[in-house]
């Protein structure tokens, strides 16, 4: 396809939507390359605080903003200053934000999504929400994903991620825009696969955290991650994704980081659940979104719709939404019938 070049010969002017840790890190990263970046923050109080301090002390303290990074809570003005959008808001807020963008103008800017999850109710991936509410041009959509904690990105720790787009032009230009000597960007064409990786790995990370919180040991964690990767792949293939995507940075790479890293919100929630704490208390203390909590429900429903067996995801879903106990879900997994491991 590749009919319309995006930024070839033009200065890029990114608009990053989302003032959480990941949105702030991506805005910081692009501005550090000298690009004129606008970071849109919905909360006016937080926006004013960030603009005054020149850092996001709530979600990413210590990262002093480059001069080229502007903070705004005015979506219309932010949109007018940009020629492409970086989406970094919680998945459940994507539809409302896309509808707001659509209402503000006729032109449709290219979108790079750093959002991970599945919409509750509709069971839509982010690309599908964007297509329904903002732009149906698949050549102007890309997904950026991979093992990348926000704090380490702003510290310029060596990081490798992947960008996927149906358009080679889009993928290559986003690769060029984001790549640095500390932030290595690879490309793929499997948009759906990369989105499923980003959504499901949070659920498996919850499960791994639960296992660690229960003190089940390294054997259990390794088994959960391996079987979790298998069910991520199984669902992806059923939905038309490529199995090889799940063995890359956006699949096993991001799963390993999220399930084992101390900075992982989803792992933290899982550990505390495994210790017997209540979910509302955990989420209140966390103060940020742990996408795996809502994705567990959406992924379970999506698997049922397509007849795909996701035992680890189902166990997390039962624990969070059906009142099952830790003993119940552990027994469900260990009592499963014996089977051949060679699925693909």
Element spanning 316, H or E: helix 311-321
Q: Is the Cα dihedral 114, 226, 314, 204 positive or negative? A: negative
Report helix, strand or coil for 331: helix
Q: Of 195, 202, 233, which Cα lies nearest the Cα of 344? A: 233
Q: Strand 14-17 to strand 141-145: parallel, antiparallel, or no bridges (unpaired)? A: unpaired
DSSP state of 65: P
CA–CA separation, 240 and 1 (whole Å):
19
Contact call for residues 260 and 328 (beta carbons, < 8 A): no
User: Could you confirm whether 339 is annotated as catalytic?
Assistant: no
**Alpha-carbon separation of residue 75 from 39, 65, 119, 318 (angstroms):** 10, 20, 23, 39
Radius of gyration of the chain, Cα coordinates, nearest whole angstrom: 20
**How many Cβ atoms are within 10 Å of 248's Cβ, its own excluded?**
22
**How many Cβ atoms are within 10 Å of 27's Cβ, its own excluded?**
34
Element spanning 164, H or E: strand 159-164
CA–CA separation, 151 and 153 (whole Å):
6
Chain Cα centroid distance, residue 316: 19
Catalytic residue among 184, 201, 278, 339: 201
Element spanning 187, H or E: strand 183-188
205: Cβ–Cβ under 8 A, 6 or more apart, which residues?
255, 258, 259, 264, 266, 267, 270, 292
Which residues are identified as catalytic? Answer: 201
């Amino acid at each position: 396809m590749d009919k319309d070049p995006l930024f070839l010969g033009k200065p890029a002017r990114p608009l990053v939507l989302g003032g959480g840790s990941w949105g702030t890190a991506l805005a910081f990263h692009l501005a550090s390359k000298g690009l004129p970046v606008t970071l849109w923050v919905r909360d006016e109080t937080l926006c004013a605080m960030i603009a005054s301090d020149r850092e996001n002390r709530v979600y990413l303290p210590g990262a002093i903003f480059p001069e080229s990074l502007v903070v705004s809570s005015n979506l219309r003005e932010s949109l007018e200053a940009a020629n492409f959008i970086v989406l970094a808001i919680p998945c459940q807020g994507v539809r409302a934000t896309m509808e707001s963008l659509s209402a503000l103008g006729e032109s449709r800017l290219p979108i790079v999504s750093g959002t991970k999850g599945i919409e509750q109710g509709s069971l839509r991936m982010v690309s599908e929400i964007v297509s329904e509410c903002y732009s149906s041009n698949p050549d102007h959509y890309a997904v950026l994903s991979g093992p990348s904690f926000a704090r380490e990105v702003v510290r310029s720790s060596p990081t490798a991620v992947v960008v996927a787009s149906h358009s080679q032009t889009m993928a290559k230009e986003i690769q060029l825009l984001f790549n640095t000597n500390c932030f290595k960007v690879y490309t793929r064409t499997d948009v759906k696969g990369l989105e499923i990786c980003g959504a499901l790995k949070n659920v498996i990370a919850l499960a791994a955290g639960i296992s660690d919180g229960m003190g089940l040991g390294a054997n259990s964690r390794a088994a959960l991650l391996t079987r979790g990767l298998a069910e991520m792949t199984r669902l992806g293939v059923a939905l038309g994704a490529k199995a090889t995507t799940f063995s890359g940075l956006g699949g096993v790479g991001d799963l390993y980081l999220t399930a084992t890293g101390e900075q992982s919100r989803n792992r933290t929630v899982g550990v505390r659940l495994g210790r017997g704490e209540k979910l509302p208390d955990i989420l209140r203390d966390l103060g940020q979104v742990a996408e795996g909590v809502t994705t567990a429900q959406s992924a379970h429903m999506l698997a049922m719709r397509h007849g795909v067996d996701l035992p680890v995801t189902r166990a997390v879903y039962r624990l969070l939404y059906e009142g099952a106990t830790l003993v119940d879900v552990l027994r469900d997994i260990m009592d499963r019938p014996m089977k051949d491991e060679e699925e693909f």
